[in-house]
Amino acid sequence: MKTAFKLDAYPRRPYPPLSDPPTTYFDQLPARVMARRPAPRALAGGAAWWALLPGALRTSLASVAVLGTFIASFWLGLGGPAAPTVSARAATAALDAVPQTELVAYLLRPSAHLDASDLARLVDARPGMAETFLRPSPTELNEALDSQAAEETQYL
């Protein structure tokens, strides 16, 4: 079995106190740092002209190149294959193929979060189907009637 490690059981080495730097150390430091700096390397091939341009011009040319690439990719992307679109007639035909009872049962499920006013829009397309599902409460009827603006007194 291993014994537990205790740091206090090991003696510490004494560290020498810090001494002052030589008197000319800070005078010679910038020259020593600059002497270690690597020499600039020459650009290979035809890229030497790039280094001769001012920094602002190089930045603007790089920005124009990136922007041109973006515009070209966007422009060329428009001519690619379009997403398949479904015509309104095909969608209506597919919806007409669903039986009304199944459609109403789907819309009346608890997770649909529909109320009577949402289902009332179906009556515009197929009059007479409201008898199967549209049973508003008296409070819903009063709220719907109160929310409508009536300018003439004969409608009140």
**DSSP states of 56-78 as a string?**
HHHHHHHHHHHHHHHHHHHHHHH
The pLDDT score that the predictor gives to residue 130 is 64
Residue 91 lies in a domain: no
Residue 117 included in any domain: yes
Closest to 21 (Cα-Cα) out of 32, 13, 34: 32
pLDDT (tens digit per residue) in 33-85: 888 877 767 666 667 777 788 989 999 999 999 999 999 888 887 765 555 66
Q: Comparing 41-55, 90-104, 124-138, which segment has the lowest mean pLDDT?
A: 124-138
Can you give the residue range of the structural domain that contains 120?
96-147
Inside any domain, residue 24: no
Are the C-beta atoms of residues 87 and 75 closer than 8 Å to each other? no
Residue 105 forms part of a structural domain:
yes
Please state whether the predicted TM-score (pTM) of the whole model is above 0.75: no
Q: Are 108 and 133 in contact (CB under 8 A)?
A: yes
Residue 113 lies in a domain: yes
- Would you say residue 27 lies in a domain? no
Q: Is residue 63 part of a domain?
A: no
Output the pLDDT for position 133.
Answer: 64
Task: Count the domains in the chain.
Answer: 1
145 has a pLDDT exceeding 60: yes
Mean pLDDT of the region 94-123: 76
- In the prediction, which pLDDT does 38 show? 77
**How many whole angstroms separate alpha carbon 120 and alpha carbon 110?**
17
pLDDT at 102: 85
